[in-house]
């Protein structure tokens, strides 16, 4: 069935509440572990319906944030979501406290119970009203950003469409596009400051209600970090600052020489190849056809996946007014159907959608029948992003289908962009730690903190002369900072793992791809570090762990550059 034809079911909170409370009572009064397992199955049936309705609502809302019906339904989910989560947490607590837990762990998994423990630390009925407020603030932010329009050279563009000019080969075009962008963003800067002020304060309030010093500990629990914590992430950030950021500055400044730049400005950071970064051969239909060929050549499972996506029109990729400006993958469990939203703008990023977001979608396809698919999914977001980012590199073998003679240029551009992303993403994480350690910071103090991090993690980039950016406000259009605190470091962790898969694939593609698919299929049934170890990927959490990887990727990049 095509995604647009999938029926939307409005589930009342009364039905959801009644069913989950019944499940809770069954678990508390269970005479044996099999009784608990039957109650869990009853819960899972409801979760399939609830998650499917939630996904369909979000898909239709984000495709058109002006659709009055789905705006109201989205607001409804914002309101009921915290109560639903609270009830599910009570069920988790009942499972943890069950006198039948030993047999339940045998029937399910100790890993499953570790996720339930972390979930129980992230939720309590006392913060339900605060969570509703937080959800409304996220919607306020996304609606503000989705509705922005930019007048550029006589035409009106959405933010996503304007971003296509940020990679233009003509430097003046890039500068002018960023100037237009920055001036418009300054108009809404007071609103962005206000929304974030309220977000930080409500999150800090929730954390303190739960007995935490600040939001950081709660934020980690909300991210389902079951096998590592703040100490390990701090080590990772230090590794990036010591091993990765210097290499990135060297590579980007050396590349700037080839671009003929005497000063590396913010608006230069999006361009890598002299004469213009490679762009896909053709538009949407040509990209879809190339993706179909690629996934068919990868194997039977990937072929079945892409056929399902294309047959059911499980993509929305056109940039337009009132459409959410980012990209995501979600799934509709009732139909075992992944869905991808993106905003094509004619750049190589359009192809990345067919690899990165499709990596998420392939994982959802592969684990749809896993026993923990509804409760844990694929695990933490670092695991999810390892799936997507690694797929970007496994696509290199077939990248000529998208870029033709520019395939080598794409590989160099793609690898260098991703190499450069790690310091940026780590900076985002460091910024959030500063903010939530100091929840009473003023907007000016937050912007100053961002500028100081820029000087440490990306010292080669000059920010002056660009409205909005030079004030230290780049973080305000990084939606994860507003909507998904502490998510962004997962991208960085995953990118190091993906680079590991890239190096392995260049030596033995089939062996590396088989280990990758094995990692994908396990879903949330193993800890992240154990998944990496099985896939022969080094842990990123040890002191100095990134130096060897950074050296190898830097050498690879120099080789790729020499080949173009």
Q: What is the mean pLDDT of the chain?
A: 95
User: Residue 321 pLDDT more than 90?
Assistant: no
Q: Quote the DSSP letter at residue 478.
A: -
Residue 161 has pLDDT above 90, yes or no: no
- Taking 90 as the threshold, does the pLDDT of residue 325 lie above it? no
> Cα 268 to chain center, whole Å?
25
337: three-class secondary structure by DSSP:
strand
Q: Minimum mean pLDDT among 122-126, 322-326, 386-390: which range? A: 322-326
- Check: CB of residue 387 under 8 Å from CB of residue 362: yes
Per residue in 69-103, pLDDT tens? 999 999 999 999 999 999 999 999 999 999 999 99
549 lies in some domain: no
- Rounded to an integer, what distance in angstroms lies between the CA atom of residue 42 and that of residue 21? 11
Half-sphere exposure of 494 (CA within 13 A, CB side): 26
Q: What is the pLDDT of residue 371?
A: 92
pLDDT of residue 486: 97
CA atoms within 13 A on the CB side of 72: 3
- Domain range enclosing 351: 284-407+493-534
Look at residue 513 and tell me if it is in a domain.
yes
**Residue recorded with tokens 């995953």:** 494
Q: Is residue 139 scored above 80 in pLDDT? A: yes
Which pLDDT score, from 0 to 100, does residue 428 have? 98
The pLDDT of residue 523 is above 80: no
Q: What is the pLDDT of residue 345?
A: 87
Q: Please report whether residue 265 resides in a domain.
A: no
Q: Which of 134, 166, 190 is the last residue of a domain?
A: 134
Angstrom distances, CA of residue 85 to CA of 56, 88, 114, 347: 19, 5, 17, 39
Q: Convert the pLDDT of each residue in 471-503 to its tens digit.
A: 999 999 999 999 999 999 999 999 999 999 999
Nearest to 218 by CA among 530, 432, 428: 432
**Cβ proximity of 272 and 343 under 8 Å:** no
Q: Sorting pLDDT into bands at 50, 70 and 90, what band is 160?
A: confident
For 11-145, strand residue ranges (E) read none
Q: What is the predicted pLDDT for the residue at 324? A: 85
Phi first, then psi, for residue 107 (nearest 5°) are: -75, -30
How far apart CA 480 and CA 501 sit, in angstroms, is: 26
∠ Cα 143 323 491 (to 5°): 80
State the DSSP string of 408-421.
Answer: HHHHHHHHHHHHHH
Mean pLDDT of 252-265: 93
Residue 340 is assigned to a structural domain of this protein: yes
Q: What is the pLDDT of residues 333-352, one digit of tens each?
A: 999 999 999 999 888 989 98
Range with lowest mean pLDDT among 85-94, 198-207, 220-229, 271-280: 271-280
Rounded mean pLDDT of 419-431? 98
Structure confidence at residue 188 as a pLDDT band (50, 70, 90) = very high
Q: Is residue 544 part of a domain?
A: no
Number of domains in the chain: 2
Tokens of 77: 């989910």
Model confidence over 25-54: pLDDT tens digits?
A: 999 999 999 999 999 999 999 999 999 999
What value does the mean pLDDT take over residues 6-30?
A: 98
Q: What is the pLDDT of residue 276?
A: 81
The confidence score (pLDDT) of residue 146 equals 87
Task: Assess if residue 41 is contained within a domain.
Answer: yes
Tell me, what's the pLDDT at 275? 85
The pLDDT score that the predictor gives to residue 127 is 95
Query: Which sign, positive or negative, has the C-alpha torsion 373, 374, 380, 381?
Result: positive
Q: What is the pLDDT of residue 41?
A: 97
How high is the pLDDT of residue 5? 97
What is the b/e burial string over 30-57, where b = at least 16 CB atoms within 10 angstroms of the residue's CB? beebeebbebbeebbebbbbbbbbbbbb
What gap in Å lies between CA 336 and CA 78, rounded to an integer?
Answer: 24
- What average pLDDT score do residues 293-300 get? 98
The answer, yes or no, to whether residue 151 has pLDDT greater than 90, is yes
């Amino acid at each position: 069935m095509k995604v647009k034809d999938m029926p939307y079911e409005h589930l009342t909170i009364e039905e959801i509440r009644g069913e989950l409370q019944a499940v809770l009572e069954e678990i508390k009064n269970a005479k044996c572990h099999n009784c608990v397992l039957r109650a869990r199955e009853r819960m899972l049936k409801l979760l399939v319906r609830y998650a499917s309705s939630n996904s369909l609502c979000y898909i239709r809302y984000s495709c058109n944030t002006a659709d009055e019906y789905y705006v109201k339904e989205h607001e409804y989910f914002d309101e009921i979501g915290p109560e639903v989560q609270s009830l599910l947490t009570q069920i988790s607590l009942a499972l943890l406290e069950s006198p039948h837990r030993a047999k339940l762990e045998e029937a399910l998994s100790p890993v499953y119970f570790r996720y339930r423990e972390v979930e129980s630390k992230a939720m309590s009925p006392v913060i339900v009203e605060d969570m509703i407020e937080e959800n409304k603030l996220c919607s306020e932010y996304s609606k503000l950003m989705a509705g922005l329009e930019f007048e550029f050279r006589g035409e009106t563009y959405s933010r996503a469409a304007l971003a296509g000019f940020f990679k233009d080969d003509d430097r003046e075009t890039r500068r002018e596009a960023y100037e237009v962008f920055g001036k418009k963003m300054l108009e809404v800067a007071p609103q962005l400051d206000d929304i974030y002020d309220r977000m930080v304060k409500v999150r800090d309030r929730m954390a303190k209600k739960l007995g935490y010093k600040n939001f950081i500990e709660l934020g980690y629990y909300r991210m389902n970090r079951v096998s590592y914590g703040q100490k390990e992430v701090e080590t990772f950030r230090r590794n990036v600052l010591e091993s990765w950021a210097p290499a990135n500055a060297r590579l980007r400044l050396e590349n700037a020489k080839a671009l003929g730049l005497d000063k590396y400005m913010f608006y230069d950071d999006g361009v890598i190849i002299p004469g213009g970064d490679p762009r896909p051969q053709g538009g949407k239909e040509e990209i879809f056809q190339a993706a179909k060929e690629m996934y068919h050549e990868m194997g039977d499972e990937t072929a079945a996946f892409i056929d399902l996506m294309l047959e059911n029109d499980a993509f929305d990729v056109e940039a337009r007014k009132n459409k959410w400006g980012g990209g995501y993958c979600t799934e509709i469990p009732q139909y075992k159907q992944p869905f991808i939203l993106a905003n094509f703008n004619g750049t190589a990023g359009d192809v990345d959608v067919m690899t990165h977001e499709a990596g998420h979608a392939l994982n959802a396809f592969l684990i749809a029948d896993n026993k923990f698919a509804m409760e844990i999914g694929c695990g933490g977001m670092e695991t999810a992003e390892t799936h997507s980012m690694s797929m970007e590199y496994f696509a290199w073998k077939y990248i000529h289908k998208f870029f033709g003679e520019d395939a080598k240029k794409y590989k160099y551009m793609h690898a260098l962009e991703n190499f450069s992303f790690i310091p940026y993403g780590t900076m985002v994480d460091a910024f959030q730690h500063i903010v939530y350690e100091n929840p009473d910071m003023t907007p000016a103090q937050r912007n100053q903190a961002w500028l100081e991090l820029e000087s440490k993690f990306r010292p080669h980039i000059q920010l002056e002369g660009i409205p909005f950016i030079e004030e230290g406000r780049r973080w305000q259009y990084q939606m994860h900072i507003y909507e998904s605190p502490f998510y962004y470091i997962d991208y960085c962790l995953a990118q190091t793992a993906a680079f590991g898969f890239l190096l392995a694939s260049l030596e033995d593609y089939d062996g590396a791809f088989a280990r990758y698919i094995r990692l994908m299929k396990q879903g949330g049934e193993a800890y992240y570090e154990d998944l990496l170890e099985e896939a022969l990927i080094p842990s990123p959490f040890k002191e100095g762990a990134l130096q060897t990887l950074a050296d190898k990727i830097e050498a690879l990049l120099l080789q790729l550059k020499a080949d173009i």
